[in-house]
Amino acid sequence: MGIDIKNENHSSNGKNYPQWGIGDAKLDWRRAAQKAGQAINQTNPNILIFVSGIENGQNDCSKDKDMMWGENFMPIECYPVDFEYIPKDKLILTPHIYGLDVYPDISYFSSKDFPNNLQPKWEEHFGYLTEKGYTIIPGEFGSKYGTTTNTGTGDTKDVVLQDKLIDYFIDKEICNFFYWSYNPNSDDTGGLVEDDWQTPISSKIDNLQKLIQYCNQQEN
């Protein structure tokens, strides 16, 4: 069993951005996550503790200003998690990674080197931490993947992005994940099934299957 301490840390007013390890203690997500994680661990040491990242708004040790809510783990390079609070074997870092169907205004989505710039960005934002021994389990990712919902048809560039993301997970051997979403009534992404809630959307399933099959082969 695991507990996600807080979903998608972000500013609600465009001013008071969550920070990591610096600034006002009221905005320091590292401090809050460690204290919450410690309380959880003391109550039940068997529970996994999921900690999301922050978003934009931190200059110190955060090279990029364009990220989804909860995607930014760059400041851990300067301010690591204190394992006195959350044991390393109980800590799960859980970024949320989305593309143009959810938030098209990220600057590097319109860069000339798209989509080749995507994997280096993900590596900067969170992927580098696998080399430091942290466990990464994406808490959300997904898109319309070219399908149509009541808010329109998905951006073809997001299909490319989702393909690149699965390739990246394979390269990093990130084999555990949570996908958004199964249900078809998510306006931003649609679901893994049609509006009847039963018929699978084969294109989405096939893309996820690439990762699942790779990971199964590694286990065998």
DSSP secondary structure of 161-179: HHHHHHHHHHHHT------
Rg (CA), the chain: 18
**202-219 and 156-172 helices, crossing angle to 10°:** 10
Q: What angle do CA 85, 134, 81 make, to 5 degrees?
A: 30
Annotated catalytic, 140?
Answer: yes
Determine the residue type at 189: T
- Among the options 77, 140, 173, 194, which is catalytic? 140
User: Comparing C-alpha atoms, which of 76, 83, 66 is closest to residue 131?
Assistant: 76
84 a catalytic residue: no
Q: Which of 8, 77, 123, 124 is catalytic?
A: 8
CA distance 220 to 210: 16
- Residues designated as active site: 8, 140
